[in-house]
Amino acid sequence: MTTRKAIVTVFAGVVLAAVPAVAQQVGTATAVNPTSESTPPGGSTVALTVGAKVVHKERIHTTPSGSVQLLFLDKSTLSIAPNTNLLIDEFIYDPNSDSGHMLANLTQGAMRYVGGKLSHQGEVTFSTADANIGIRGGTVTIIHGPNGTEVINHFGTITISNGGGTIVVTRPGFVVTITNWNTPPGQPVRVTAAEIEHYIKYLSSKFGQNGGIAGLNNIQLAECGTPTTKACPEPPWLPTDTGENDAFQVIIQSTQHATGTSPPPPPPSGPPCGHDC
Amino acid sequence: MQVKNRRAIRSRLAGALAPIALLAFSEISASAQTASDYAQNLNPLFQGVLTRPGNLSNTLQYAVGASQAGDIESAISTYEQLLFYNPKLSRTRFDLGVLYYELGSYDMARGYLQTALEMHDVTPELEQKTNDLLALIDKKLQPDQFTGFVQTGVRYQSNASLGPGSQTALASGQNFNSAFFARPDWNWFGTFGLNYVHDFETQTGETFEASFLGYDAQQFTLHQFDAGLMEVRAGPRFALSPGDVNGVTIKPYVVATGGLLADAPYYDGIGGGLTLHGHAGDISLDPYAEIVQQSFRNSTLYPLASGLSGTLSTLGLQAFEPLRSGLSWQGRVVYAHANDQFAFDSYDSYAADIWLPWNVSLGGTGRPWTIIPTAGVTRWIYGAPDPGIDPVTTARTTEWRVGLGLEIPIWEKFILATLVQYRDDASNVAAFSMRDLSVTAGPTFRF
């Protein structure tokens, strides 16, 4: 029995070792602006198109006008900005147990990761030349260039480690700058509105581009604020009668308490006025 | 005869509340059914996005379905995919703003909303919604956040003393103090509420919070009921699970209160409490426990007030849930125990209140009016018979209250607020029974 198990295990290992080389799909390019290219492991560089399968160990490259969105099997996405180089080092995902892990290497440029099943397990790591960025949650924008790496947390817990130390960012809207591998990551500071707006525009199509799909001229479905959808976020209605109700309770209590007391007697009548009145 | 009338009133109250309760219940069950249905349909839709991302119908259905099922990140991913296909659609940017807001990522929400306003296709209605949400977000992103209201106005009460009718006899045989008979009166009042939050901007999310409540009313005739009060609560808030936007937070706080009656100091109190804030689905929950040492002062009009001095302990739960666009409910249940100087002043009380603020659009681009049906009940059980009122009967009183508020927008943050409220206290001690109809109206500034 033990021998049979060992044979099966070895055989399975051999098969599994061979399978990734046969271009196992880990995701799909859901939006592509030219020119964006991909290089599968052992293959030649080709122009990326919408619907193209993304595989393990695939390298993605965008030109100054190119941008891409990748959708992975665990429902996470990567939006990749122009002038970016990214390698999907590893993507292992078991949909039955929602387990696995993802490793990707950003060698240049900017990307936004919106989390899925793997990041909810804390099993997603991006690396740059300056740091390893572990994601639990989580949604994050990472920018890497010659001056270092910037990590903007949008949601979740981000652990940034390098040769200089480790820092954990738990609040959305905070950015950490890492200048190089040997310098400790900087303290988290609030990201500016201008920087956020810049990367929102940078990590999507430019005006005139359509991500490879034409014909989306309007959206009829609304996220909120219609009779058939949920309420748009609004502050809880604040009652203004709290003071009135508290005062009423004071008066009820005082009245009940004073009900049985006779009114104070009138002041005693003094002697008839004389000349001094 | 009186009992029959009360039963009739209660029956009418129950009749009035039933449709409200039914509406709330149907909203909740409809929403739960939708989420479940969406969750079941999500996987085929996701497979469709994965294999045919250009199938816009499928992709749109997946975006909305993911959001309805509570998978906000998948909804964000899909709306960002749609933004790649057409970056000029203000609606997509607005929806992304809403989704990032729900995620607690206010900076991203603001970014998408700001860019939505730059799009040429933004409609006046969407512009209004976007600006409303931006105002909310701007407040949340400030290290020092202020919210509240200031209101002034006039009030008519059919029973300003909130006391029994003049025909009521005291079982104790003592004379009834005629100053506290039920009589109508008008008053002028002013009130404010201020909530302050200071965000220390740490990664663990500590804040300092303070709330102030002030109220003063001057009667036109019955000045023995001129009432003023002030309440302050302040303390730090800590996240029990830092990084989780919807995680539970805890706040220990101190409370100080004080009040005037007939323009003379009447009571003051000091104490402390502990409150939590958390969520159960879309319902926001704030349970709390509070203990306040109260001290009442005797005066010519209220010569026995000091007997009310003692400890007031309160356990409560406040809840809020948006039901659908423009409609939400808020509720509160409270248990209080007053341990006063004399057993006949001590009591246990059980209270429940509900508010259903409902924004009603009157068409056009004007701001909606808000209708607020309210209802509540309190049961008081006293500790012993009051020898001055009824030496053999321990008072047990039930108060029913219903109201209807209407808030009419005037200009910017100014509204005209009106409230009609009816109270009916039924007690086994006749002197504790009373009814009151109050009508309040006045300009209000909300911020």
pLDDT confidence of residue B13: 41
For residue B431, list chain A residues with Cβ-Cβ distance below 8 A.
Answer: 256, 259-260
Cβ within 8 Å, pair A116-B74: yes
Contact B46, B69 (CB under 8 A): no
User: Which residue ranges make up each domain of chain B?
Assistant: 11-140, 144-446
- Smallest Cα distance from A182 to chain B, Å: 23
Mind listing the pLDDT tens digit for each residue in A16-52?
A: 444 444 568 899 999 999 999 999 888 899 999 999 9
B-contacting residues of A 113-152, CB under 8 Å? 114-116, 137, 139
Q: Contacts for B177-183 with beta carbons within 8 Å, 24 or more apart? A: B177/A258, B177/A259, B177/A260, B177/A261, B177/A262, B177/A263, B178/A263, B179/A258, B179/A263, B179/B224, B179/B301, B180/A255, B180/A258, B180/A259, B180/B224, B182/B158, B182/B434, B182/B435, B182/B436, B183/B159, B183/B222
Alpha-carbon span A23 to B5, nearest angstrom: 82
Mind listing the pLDDT tens digit for each residue in A234-269?
A: 888 888 888 888 999 999 888 887 766 544 444 445
pLDDT confidence of residue A219: 81
Chain B interface disruption, residue of A158, A216, A242, A262, most B CBs within 10 A:
A216
Q: Does pLDDT of B25 surpass 80?
A: no
Q: Which one, of A74, A71, A90, lies nearest residue A32 by Cα?
A: A71
Q: Does pLDDT of B130 surpass 90?
A: yes
Alpha-carbon span B125 to B131, nearest angstrom: 10
Mind listing the pLDDT tens digit for each residue in B199-235?
A: 999 998 899 999 999 999 999 999 999 999 999 999 9
For the segment(s) B11-140, the CATH number from 3.20.10.10, 1.25.40.10, 3.40.50.620, 1.20.1560.10 is 1.25.40.10
Cβ within 8 Å, pair B98-A233: yes
pLDDT band at B62 (very low <50, low <70, confident <90, very high): very high
pLDDT confidence of residue A165: 97
For the segment(s) B144-446, the CATH number from 3.40.50.10070, 3.40.50.300, 3.40.50.10090, 2.40.160.40 is 2.40.160.40
Cβ within 8 Å, pair A260-B46: no
For residue B107, list chain A residues with Cβ-Cβ distance below 8 A.
Answer: 154, 172-173, 190-191, 193, 196
Nearest CA in chain A to B52: A51
A234 contact B CB<8A: yes
Cβ within 8 Å, pair A205-B179: no
- Higher pLDDT residue, B229 or A9? B229
A-contacting residues of B 37-76, CB under 8 Å? 46, 49-54, 56, 60-61, 63-64, 67-68, 71, 73-76
Per-residue tokens: B82 = 């749609």
Per-residue tokens: B333 = 């249940």
Contact A100, A92 (CB under 8 A): yes
A206 contact B CB<8A: yes
For residue B388, list chain A residues with Cβ-Cβ distance below 8 A.
Answer: 259-261
Mind listing the pLDDT tens digit for each residue in A79-126?
A: 999 999 999 999 999 988 889 999 999 999 999 999 999 999 999 999
pLDDT band at B400 (very low <50, low <70, confident <90, very high): very high
Mind listing the pLDDT tens digit for each residue in B255-273?
A: 999 999 999 999 999 999 9
pLDDT confidence of residue A23: 63
Percent of chain A residues past pLDDT 70, beyond the cut: 84
Alpha-carbon span B202 to B189, nearest angstrom: 41
pLDDT confidence of residue A269: 52
Per-residue tokens: B252 = 């220990």
**Whole-complex ipTM:** 0.85
Average pLDDT value over all residues in chain B? 88
pLDDT confidence of residue B125: 86
Q: Does pLDDT of A131 surpass 90?
A: yes
Average pLDDT value over all residues in chain A? 86
Residue-level length of chain B: 447
Question: What is the 8-class DSSP label of residue A63?
Answer: -
Q: Residue B368: left (phi > 0), alpha (psi -120 to 50), or beta?
A: beta
Nearest CA in chain B to A266: B300
User: Which residue ranges make up each domain of chain A?
Assistant: 19-202
Question: What is the 8-class DSSP label of residue B241?
Answer: S
Mind listing the pLDDT tens digit for each residue in B150-161?
A: 999 999 999 999
Q: Which one, of B314, B308, B323, B317, lies nearest residue B276 by Cα?
A: B317
Cβ within 8 Å, pair B243-A239: no
Contact A226, B197 (CB under 8 A): no
Residues in a beta bridge with B349: B336, B380
pLDDT confidence of residue B42: 66
B95 contact A CB<8A: yes
Q: What is the DSSP string of B58-120?
A: HHHHHHHHHHHTT-HHHHHHHHHHHHHH-TT-HHHHHHHHHHHHHHT-HHHHHHHHHHHHTST
Mind listing the pLDDT tens digit for each residue in B310-353?
A: 999 999 999 999 887 788 999 999 999 999 988 999 999 999 99
Residue pairs spanning A and B at CB distance below 8 A: 338
Select from A79, A223, A227 the Cβ nearest to the Cβ of B80.
A79
- Smallest Cα distance from B398 to chain A, Å: 13
Cβ within 8 Å, pair B46-A75: yes
The predicted model scores a pTM of 0.80
Select from A225, A234, A257 the Cβ nearest to the Cβ of B308.
A257
B369 contact A CB<8A: no
A256 contact B CB<8A: yes
Q: Does pLDDT of B283 surpass 50?
A: yes
pLDDT confidence of residue B300: 85
For the segment(s) A19-202, the CATH number from 3.30.43.10, 2.60.120.1440, 1.10.3720.10, 3.20.20.120 is 2.60.120.1440
Is B86 exposed, middle or buried (CB count within 10 Å of its CB: 0-12, 13-18, 19+)?
Answer: buried
- Higher pLDDT residue, B99 or B176? B99
Question: What is the 8-class DSSP label of residue B176?
Answer: P
Chain B interface disruption, residue of A171, A189, A201, most B CBs within 10 A:
A171
Alpha-carbon span B77 to A256, nearest angstrom: 62
Q: Which one, of B252, B288, B250, B239, lies nearest residue B104 by Cα?
A: B239
Nearest CA in chain B to A225: B325
* CB-CB neighbours of A12 under 10 Å: 10
Contact A64, A82 (CB under 8 A): yes
Mind listing the pLDDT tens digit for each residue in B404-425?
A: 999 999 988 899 999 999 999 9
A250 contact B CB<8A: yes
- Smallest Cα distance from B5 to chain A, Å: 22
pLDDT confidence of residue B360: 87
